[in-house]
Structure formats: structure tokens, C-alpha cells
Chains A and B, each alone.
Chain A
């Protein structure tokens, strides 16, 4: 790893910030309905640009773009944290069952709410779907932790047990979701949409629920970036430097899980992003978490805003699930980075 001068390091994150701002602008500009820059400006400053334009801008377009940014940042932070804690480049926000748990919770909620699908998340209503997804994620992750702590596999194994238990329970819940899909043919589209991730029909309500959770848990992870640096050297090193590694690790895992659950509960399962965004940032900014975490958050947000813009516009007025776009567009870019600057990656 390359030592970075803290004072100059901060400046290296500015391009990331610029990229996000640009992506936000692009996300607001393009859509099924094309808004001109002057219309956006008038709409944002409150100068009347037509009631419909204002409705679309404020109630549909902006919340979607902002939510995509929040979820992108959240998934990327969680990914960076999981990769650091597990010391495994393949770890992603879904590794310990958060996504499949959320999908199961959401599916069950959709099943129970089948008739009242109209306005699952209108303002002032209990957001059952979001709560169920969140509950499902926490339940499955909780089960994974219980299983991991029940098994006594020696000192260095718990991390591996966590990953294995997470994978096993993920497969199990995945099978349950498939079964529900199979038996409820009419709900196939809704559940499928959920499994591929989508921001269709999401409003300020979702931001109000998930935003604070992502902010707090993400902020906590950032504050713990020094311990994360130490943990990624291995337990022995961390302990010899006086770090209560068990407790810190649990705290980071809990925060990252919470962050993931909040993201998944409002957007569905968006793959690729949480795995790749931290790696891209690591290639560009180096492995130190103090810089890696905010960098990942900005890059994750940028990528997801762009992905959602594409999902909304490519075959407008028809929409495609954003998870499909993240995988399709992100993978080649990631492989390119890997090939061109791969030796610094992990």
C-alpha cells in the first residue's frame, strides 16, 4: 500500500464530489419527460415553470435522484465495511443475508397486502413494505449471528462461519421467495421487480425513512475507519495495537448491516454496487478507510444515480429495473479498472 499524506488526501476526493454533483444534474435533467436546464432552474428556485413540470420535478424526479444517491452511498459504505472486517475482497453488503432477508420480508408483506397494493407507501401511511423488508433483513442477519456464535470453531473461524451461515440462510430464504413467486403467479412482476431493485414509484417518504439510518450508520462506520484499517491487517496486529477487536468488529458489522437493510428496504436488491464501488475507490484513492469510505460513498451515489437515470430513460416511457443496469454498466468499467490498475486493488 502507498502511504498518503493526510493533508493532500482530502483534495483527492474533490473530483468524486464533482462527479456526484454532475450525476445529480444529469439525473434531474434526463427522464421520460425531458426538462431543459432553464426549466430545472426555474422549478428549483420556485419560479413557476408550469404546475405539471413542478410536480414532476419536485415530487417524482428529485426524490428518485436523491434516493438513488442515498442508497448508492449506503451500499458502497456497507460494502467497504464488510470487505474491511471480513478481509475478503468478495464480501459485499449482502454477504450475511441482509438482502435475501429483506426480499423475504418484502415478499411476505406483498403477499399479505396483495389487495391493497395501491399506494403501499403514500405519505402518512404506515410503510408496511419498508418495515417488513427491514425486519426481514434484521431477522436473517440476527439468525446468522446466532448460528455463528453457536458454533465453536476456534478463534479465527467466526468470520468464516458468519459468511458461510449467511450464504446458507441466503439460499434458504431465496428458495422461500422463489416458492412464493411460483405459487403466486400474479405477483411475479412485483416480486421480480423487488429482487432486481428499482426506484420506481419511490418518493420523499422513503428518503425520510431510510436516509437518516444510512447517514447515522454510514457516519459511524466512517468514524471507525482507523480501527477498520487495523482490522484489515488481521486480528493479531489489531490486538497488539490495543484494539478490542471483537467489540469493534461487532459494532462495524451491526452498523453496516443496518445501513444495508435501510438501503434494501427502500430499493430492493441492487447487486454489484456494494461490491464494486469500494474496489474502484480503492484503486483510485488507496486502501485507507478514512478516505476510502467517503470516496466509496460518493462514487456509489454517482454510479447509482447514473444507473437509475438510464433505467428511466433507455426505453422510456417503459422502465427497466435499476439492478440490471448496475450490473450491465458497472461490470465492464470495473474490469477495465482492474486490468489497468489492478495491482493496487486489494
Chain B
């Protein structure tokens, strides 16, 4: 622990030294850019379709902007960011959905959607501690979009380096909307942000309308299996738990506190879920039938209503567990698993 801290300190000092080295030069160029920006904003525009170009021009003039981050703190951006790095796959998707993809220079190695992310510089990411500050600084970002508490330490380091950070949580549908709003404002796409939020609300309402005629008093009991050993599920306070409720299901572990707790097999068997949903990992079995066969062999599971009825579903990992603009796809798949009769053509 102490070593890690020391390592980071050394890293920090080195980066600081480097920054001081090119500080004077940087400051000059920033100043000249700002001047240019005020005089002729159009010259700085990235090559884009007419519609977005107009939008960007219109909103670029509204800079500087002040955006609230997840802690309610103000983040002020003097001008429209042109070199954005996103450190969360869900935020990357939001950036692209807003039309800010062209302003991006980097994302994490886990960001795999949309395909355009391949052209960006990929920051190797295993966990927040493994992000290289040097790799970030090298890209000369003028805005880094991070997750909230997850990147708290990193955000503090970036702040000492005077790199603007916009920290936004991504744990719930409300968070997604806030992220769309905040990122929209910060990148000069507020109008798109608002449109995106309206569309998201519409689509969620659409899914709920579709299942409405088939909903009964008793909602289908769902077990969402996050992991097998240890047996882990998604609690009601997690994003997936929220999706289960939105899709008209009842989480069999609605009484747990942590977001992704390890739960007891006994309780699961006693609560007897009617539907089991699991994320489909890229390396994992692609076929729910295969998984069902394995579950049947498992002691105590074969009598479970979901296993007996063959109602075991796999939902692609990326859409179910990534709280971004594609949340509707995950929600739809979940609703389809819970109310197959509401979706006659899968």
C-alpha cells in the first residue's frame, strides 16, 4: 500500500516536472488558441456533417460553460474541448451518441462501442489504479471524463496537473441522464443531450407500455446471476436491479444492501425464481440452452421453477451491465425474458 503510494508520488512529481518544463510554451499556445477561437470559431471546427457543424458553432459561442459534476461541484471549461479522453465505457458511448466522438482523442481499452473507438488512443485499463498518468498527459487532453467515486483518486491527481476533469457517476438511469446532460454541456452539445434524454425516456416508456397488457398483480420472480463462484447477484441498489424493476420483474434478492452481494444458495432455492438471467460474456457459452443443461445437473437447482420451465436467459454483457445510452437494449432484452408473450417476434 505504502509502496504504491510512493510510486504514484514519484510518478506525479515526474509528470509535474515535465509539465513545468513545457509550461511556458503551453500557456502561450492556449492563449493564442483562445484568441483565435473568439475571432473565428468556424476555422477550428472538426470536419463534420453540416447539421452538427452548425450546432457546434452555435454552442461553441456559449463557452465558457460551467457544468456540475456528480458531487455538485462546478467545472468550468473556457472553450469547447477538442481533445477529450473518456475513462468509462458508458461515458464513451454517451460522448459518441451526443456527436462529440470527433472531439475525442482517447478512451479505455474496455471501450468497444461504437466501432469508431478503435481509431482512438486506447488507454490500457484493468482497474483505476492501473491507469497511467503519463499516457493520459501525453495525449494533451483538454477534458477527461471520469466515473465518480471509482476514479476519485485519479481525478485528484489530474486536478493537480491542471487537466480539466468532469466526474460523473454511472450507476443508475438517473445517472445516465445526468451524464448525458453534463457531458452535453461540457462538450458543446447541450441540445443533443436534451434530445438524447427525451429519447431515452421515450424508449423506456415504450418498453413498459409494451409489457403493460401482460403484467399481472404477481410480478415474475427474477434471479440475476452475476457470477457463479461465489454466487453473486445484483441487488436492488444496482443498475441491473433497477432494470429488473423497470422491466416489470421482482428481484428475488430485493432485500440485500450491497450492489453486487454474495448470496446464499439456500435462500435462492427457497425463493424459487421463475426466471434466471445472466450476462453473456464474450468467452462464455453463447447458448442459453447449454447453460440450462449445466444448471440442471447442479445439486438443488433442478427443482427450481426457472430451471424446470427452461426460463434461463443470457443477455449480452455490454448492454445489460453498461449504464449508457444503450440501456434501452438491455432493458428490452430483460423485458423480453420476463414477458416473452409481449414480444411475438424476437
Contact = CB atoms under 8 A, between A and B. Distances in A.
A104 to B, nearest CB: 17
Contacts of B49: none
Given A123-B299, A182-B127, A60 B230 contact: no
Contacts of B300: 55-56, 59-60
B294 A118 contact: yes
Given A56-B266, A317-B264, A120 B297 contact: no
B270 interface: yes
Contact of B303 (A55, A188, A203, A312): A55
Contacts of B272: 52
A23 to B, nearest CB: 18
A189 B232 contact: yes
Given A118-B295, A125-B297, A319-B230, A52 B263 contact: no
B273 to A, nearest CB: 13
Contacts of A32: 264, 266-267, 270
A4 B285 CA distance: 61
A190 B230 contact: yes
A117 interface: yes
A289 B163 CA distance: 67
B227 A124 contact: no
A225 B297 CA distance: 43
Given A185-B126, A204-B299, A318-B256, A117 B229 contact: yes
Q: Which of B263, B267, B282, B285 has the most chain A CB atoms inside 10 A of its CB?
A: B267
Interface string A24-63: 0000000111000000000000000001100110011101
A67 B298 CA distance: 17
Interface string B288-308: 000100110111100100000
B283 A317 contact: no
B265 interface: yes
A318 B269 contact: no
> Main SS of chain B's interface residues?
loop
Interface stretch (A77-85, A165-173, A193-201): A193-201
A110 B297 CA distance: 20
Contact of B294 (A33, A51, A119, A317): A119
A117 B256 contact: no
Contact of A200 (B229, B281, B291): B229
B231 A317 contact: no
Contacts of B282: 115
A215 interface: no
A316 B297 CA distance: 26
Contact of B253 (A33, A119, A317): A317
A53 B257 CA distance: 26
B130 interface: yes
B343 to A, nearest CB: 25
B265 A60 contact: yes
A60 B302 CA distance: 13
A203 to B, nearest CB: 5
A5 B267 CA distance: 49
Contacts of B261: 318
Contacts, number: 126
B255 interface: yes
A200 B230 contact: yes
B58 to A, nearest CB: 41
A329 B283 CA distance: 40
B265 A200 contact: yes
Nearest to B291: A118
B283 A115 contact: yes
B129 A182 contact: yes
A205 B300 CA distance: 13
B267 to A, nearest CB: 4
A119 B266 contact: no
Contacts of A63: 299
A312 B266 CA distance: 10
B298 A122 contact: yes
B217 interface: no
Given A125-B297, A193-B230, A201 B303 contact: no
Contact of B283 (A51, A114, A122): A114
A61 B266 contact: yes
A1 interface: no
A116 interface: yes
Name, among A55, A124, A188, the residue most crowded by chain B CB atoms within 10 Å (CB to CB). A55
B228 interface: yes
Contacts of B245: none
A183 interface: yes
Given A56-B269, A114-B281, A120 B263 contact: no
B281 A198 contact: no
A206 to B, nearest CB: 11
Nearest to A112: B283
A184 interface: yes
Nearest to A114: B283
Nearest to B225: A118
Give the interface centre of B260, B281, B299 by most chain A CB atoms within 10 Å. Answer: B299
A201 B231 contact: yes
B284 interface: yes
Interface string B231-270: 1100000000000000000000101111011111111011
Nearest to A320: B262
A268 to B, nearest CB: 10
Interface in B144-166: none
28 contacts: A32-B264, A51-B303, A52-B270, A52-B272, A55-B300, A56-B266, A56-B300, A114-B284, A115-B285, A117-B284, A118-B285, A119-B228, A120-B229, A122-B297, A129-B229, A182-B127, A183-B126, A185-B126, A188-B127, A189-B227, A189-B232, A190-B229, A193-B230, A201-B265, A203-B299, A204-B299, A317-B253, A318-B262
Given A122-B294, A319-B230, 10 more contacts: A31-B264, A60-B300, A129-B229, A183-B126, A189-B260, A200-B230, A200-B262, A317-B263, A317-B264, A319-B263
Q: Pick the 5 closest A-B CB pairs, nearest first.
A: A115-B284, A115-B283, A32-B264, A317-B267, A59-B300
Interface of B: 126-127, 129-130, 227-232, 253, 255-258, 260-267, 269-270, 272, 278, 281-285, 291, 294-295, 297-300, 303
